[in-house]
Chain A
Amino acid sequence: MAHLSEENLVRARRLAEIYPKSRSALIPLCHLAQAQDGYLSEEAMEDIAELCGVSPAEVYGTASFYDMLHTEPVGRYVVAVCTNIACMLNGAYEVLEHAESSLGIGVGQTTDDGLFTIEDAECLAGCDLAPCVQVNHRFFGPLDAAGFDGLVADLRSGALADIVPAHGVLSRVDRSNGLEVDPVGDVAR
């Protein structure tokens, strides 16, 4: 095993241990690898396969089921514009079109400077903020074209560094406890 950093390997092994079966850690481990690299690299998937006791093809097949896991590199900021019903009724497609034209890329594409990737997202559960946008899974809204430009400017200037961590980072807090209870007859690993 080579790809995950020393530190992340420690985290990874702990993750694999807190579940009754290590395969359950597959998705948390994908998030971990994505937090390290910004996306899910092939090398990382091979590490995860070993940690979870499955084949690399199964890691790839599983990861690709989920929208948040990217098996190709993405921008530093993944900007997800929700266009589902509540946002659409409040102008989401206009925001999305503005995002595309102002960043000069289409949905699923990344700007040449590697900063932004745009996604056309399904409902993000931010309908009270409609039209709402997530950047690396942090919420912003309601947004119009001007608001979107302001958001992009803040991201570029680093003004949002405290709120928006690098792509792939979900929690900046680690679990501090291992599992301590040993329930009788727990499912064998």
Chain B
Amino acid sequence: MTDIRARSSEAAEEMISITVDGTPIKAHPGELIIAAAEREGVFVPRFCYHPRMEPVGMCRMCLVEVSGPRGFSLQPACFLKVADGLEVLTNSDKARKAQEGVLEFLLVNHPLDCPVCDKGGECPLQDQALSHGPGESRFVEEKRHWAKPIEIGHFVELDRERCIQCARCTRFADEIAGDAEIDMSARGDLIEISPFPTKPFNSYFSGNTIQICPVGALTAAPYRFKARPWDLEQVESTCTTCSVGCRHVAQSSAGKLVRFLGIDSDPVNQSWLCDKGRFSFETLYGEHRVTQPMLRKGDALVEVRWHEALAAATTALRDAQAADAASIAVVGGARFSNEDAYAWAKLAKSVLGTDSVDAQLGDGLPAETVLGLPRATIDEACSARVVILLGPDLREELPVLFLRLRAAALANATKLVEISPVETSLSSLAEVRLSYVPGESRLLAEGLVGDSEQAEAEGDALEDLRRARALIGDGSDVVVVLGRPSLAESGETIASSAAALHAGLPGARFLSALRRANVHGALDMGLAPGVAPGRVALASASEELTREWGELPLSAGRDATHILQSAAAGDIAVLVLLGADPLSDFPDRSLAKAALERVPFVLSLATNLDASSSGATVVLPVTADGERSGTTTNLEGRVSRLAAKVATPGVVWAPWIVATEIGARLGAPLGAATLESLTDEISRVAPAYAGVDAALLGDADRRDGVVVPFDKSLVASLPRPIDPIATPGITSVFEQGAPIRVGTGEPVGGQSQEFEVPNATPATALVMSSAVVVAPRLDAYSQRLVLGRSLYDEGTLVETSPSMQGLASSPTLRVHPSELAKLGVTSGDKVRVRSASGSVEIATTADESIDRHVVASRFTQDVAGECDLAALIEASLLATDVRLETI
């Protein structure tokens, strides 16, 4: 957590003085008049201005009188910066007449269809027409007409009659998202917002344009006519689509979630959401939603009552435990809340007595690596001298982190050094990109930070390496963004590279880029072998923990890969799946299949019936995002609150309640009766979470969450007030009577309290392996496979959300043209790809940017499909070597 309050008081000394409407105020040098005035409570009307984008001063709504060498003149407050001694009149006769004039002009061509407009009731144009307009329009002529609405993208519909040409959407698309897929076209009063005629506006971030449109010109296809603002209720919560943990408001109407809007949380998402997160609530209402417990009877899963399902589960667990506690394994939990994950870690390790627990699915990094490295926040990464990227294509996996780093790189706030086997969405912004053959990243890492350059580098690669070394220097103020560049190379090779970077750059800090929403929280809660809650080794668990948990497993457990290997070998009696679908998500598809076929009893806690749960013995329905409360921890270790907005369908339970019930049936009550008591228990037993209890998190000033370990000596920045014109839908609902309830409990008071927090020093940090892990050399006839995830895939979320269905592109194999030529095939032709474990046929795409030693595609979850690239991966190998054959 950065010390923003402290910083701003330091800056106070350099502040300059201006007067606004006769009142002297202080302003930051370089600040816009509109922002300085607003801070002092003087609201200047505006449309084109958005606090998160460069001002353009186009709409002229913010005209105010400003003093100058030739007297006062009308100037746009959103564009002009303050200067010492400047006098500003926002409310003079002349300023008011100009503002009223602009509003009247805006209404000249704006239709009066507010009653049938989604924006009606939360519309900045409506609102400012009342507050700053002339009261009535003198325009009696015919307005401009266009066909309405037109679909300009997958999620976005455009009503050109309502557009006021503020260019917020086009500026967002270009400036913030980097997808200039829409632009203004034509001129003057014929201006419209247009995608290219043959290319729809399908940016991953398109929904933000809807959120910031100050009129009803852009509407969301999934929301159109679903609700009126005054019927909406809302809570503030955290998006759990990925581990960035964007703050959002969840809005419901008639008991159903209808809309998520991004909150301007300064340290996290700065008001943006990706489309997958924005429209993810649809999955609650998909046809595969599980709403009743199910028990396998013969070939079929049959709906049963909870007690019957729980009885079957408890019996199986008790029997397995009696035989050998190590024959019980628990996989998943990375999509659960911290409280859910904690309860399950406690149940597994202290009640069931197994340490074979893993929140990850072989697609992450070893827990010691994630938990043991020094950490950085998103803000710290965005202002670091150098950011080393060693991970996935962030745009595909952690979209809003991509936006933040993109903005930082464009603003020259940081410099990017990318280490990747193929180009990513940030490559073009990187100062240097270092390419490696999958499995060999450790060699590159050593070359980057070692005393000597990588022995084999030569030519351009050596040049690039030298540039990168020079940039990184002694490693001070360096942040490494660390994740899995490809699912077709082992996480151990990446962990090994991270160890080398850590050893070589002791000052560098790490920002984890693992994707699943609460994977970091789940690991923090102990859902990994050998790990206790609070980022400590099980072996060095605190007294506090042993007091709460009692006996701990003696033998070290297995991670997901070893669990599945044991399962395939017949050594697992009960496999518990905590909202996990290894059949779809575990990189080695054959291993996952073999394991799940072999395990006699699979207990699945699921929101949707996915590939793995369809084959389970017992399926227990659990809460989804929007239905649950609790806390979640994002990739930077920020703990923030989840809020339930809608009631659960059927007889769906929260996972922690399931754990408690099972514990009770096994004769070992977990001891927590409420969610809050779990949150508090975590703050007691998990060293990294010391002091972060329900009361602290419930404080209104902590709405942006708390980065753990919590350092009470730092003063948190206050959450930004919600801006009615920047994010219209939130405040209007608030003003109409539905408070922005924060987090789990009842509305909390606005006063900051003093908290007594014990100083958090982790007992024993986890020790990561320093072994050199490098894949064997590639032979001359093979190429190495790179499989990265794409935002839209065949996963449950996309498949069960009606408006996202079908957005996954059909995968192609990207190959360097010369390699295609060698094979005698042309781009678009199909080839057969053969690896040690399988073969698939896939269409090719020639791609100059791909290294000749590499072929690349996206990871598919198409379990039964024809083109399942995961069939090529073998978990026991460090990299996936393939050969291409003509068909």
B341 CB to closest chain A CB, in angstroms? 43
B204 CB to closest chain A CB, in angstroms? 15
Task: Decide if A57 touches B187 in the complex (CB within 8 Å).
Answer: no
Contact count band on A: 10 to 19
Task: Decide if A65 touches B180 in the complex (CB within 8 Å).
Answer: no
Residues of B within 8 A of A71 (CB): 197
CA distance A42 to B195 in the complex (A): 12
- Known contacts: A65-B186, A65-B187. The answer to whether A60 contacts B197 by CB under 8 A is yes
Residues of B within 8 A of A102 (CB): none
Which of B180, B187, B197 makes the CB contact (< 8 A) with A58?
Answer: B180
- Known contacts: A56-B199, A57-B199. The answer to whether A64 contacts B194 by CB under 8 A is yes
Residues of B within 8 A of A56 (CB): 196, 198-199
8 Å CB interface, A19-47 against B: 42, 45-46
Which of B170, B179, B180, B186 makes the CB contact (< 8 A) with A64?
Answer: B186
Asked whether any CB of chain B lies closer than 8 Å to the CB of A61, the reply is yes
A50 CB to closest chain B CB, in angstroms? 13
Task: Decide if B195 touches A57 in the complex (CB within 8 Å).
Answer: yes
CA distance A42 to B199 in the complex (A): 10
Task: Decide if B183 touches A42 in the complex (CB within 8 Å).
Answer: no
Asked whether any CB of chain A lies closer than 8 Å to the CB of B185, the reply is yes
Asked whether any CB of chain A lies closer than 8 Å to the CB of B489, the reply is no
Closest chain A residue to B184 by CB distance?
A61
Asked whether any CB of chain A lies closer than 8 Å to the CB of B182, the reply is yes
Task: Decide if B185 touches A55 in the complex (CB within 8 Å).
Answer: no
Task: Decide if B180 touches A55 in the complex (CB within 8 Å).
Answer: yes
Task: Decide if B185 touches A60 in the complex (CB within 8 Å).
Answer: yes
Asked whether any CB of chain A lies closer than 8 Å to the CB of B181, the reply is yes
1/0 contact string of B296-330 vs chain A (CB within 8 Å): 00000000000000000000000000000000000
B827 CB to closest chain A CB, in angstroms? 13
CA distance A64 to B197 in the complex (A): 12
8 Å CB interface, B643-658 against A: none
1/0 contact string of A146-182 vs chain B (CB within 8 Å): 0000000000000000000000000000000000000
Asked whether any CB of chain B lies closer than 8 Å to the CB of A54, the reply is yes
Which of B183, B195, B197, B199 makes the CB contact (< 8 A) with A62?
Answer: B183
A188 CB to closest chain B CB, in angstroms? 15
Task: Decide if A42 touches B186 in the complex (CB within 8 Å).
Answer: no
Residues of A within 8 A of B186 (CB): 64-65
8 Å CB interface, A42-90 against B: 42, 45-46, 54-62, 64-65, 71
Enumerate the 10 nearest inter-chain pairs by beta-carbon distance, A residue then B residue, closest first. A61-B183, A56-B196, A64-B185, A55-B180, A57-B196, A61-B185, A57-B183, A64-B186, A65-B187, A58-B183
| Contact surface of A with B, Cβ cutoff 8 Å | 42, 45-46, 54-62, 64-65, 71
| Contact surface of B with A, Cβ cutoff 8 Å | 170, 174, 179-187, 194-199
Q: 26 A–B contact pairs at CB < 8 A?
A: A42-B197, A42-B198, A46-B196, A55-B179, A55-B180, A55-B181, A55-B183, A56-B196, A56-B198, A56-B199, A57-B181, A57-B196, A57-B199, A58-B174, A58-B180, A58-B183, A59-B196, A60-B194, A60-B196, A61-B170, A61-B183, A61-B185, A62-B183, A64-B185, A64-B194, A65-B186
Inter-chain pairs besides A42-B196, A55-B180, A60-B194, 17 sampled, C-beta below 8 Å: A42-B197, A42-B198, A55-B196, A56-B196, A57-B180, A57-B182, A60-B183, A60-B197, A61-B184, A61-B194, A62-B183, A64-B185, A64-B194, A65-B185, A65-B186, A65-B187, A71-B197
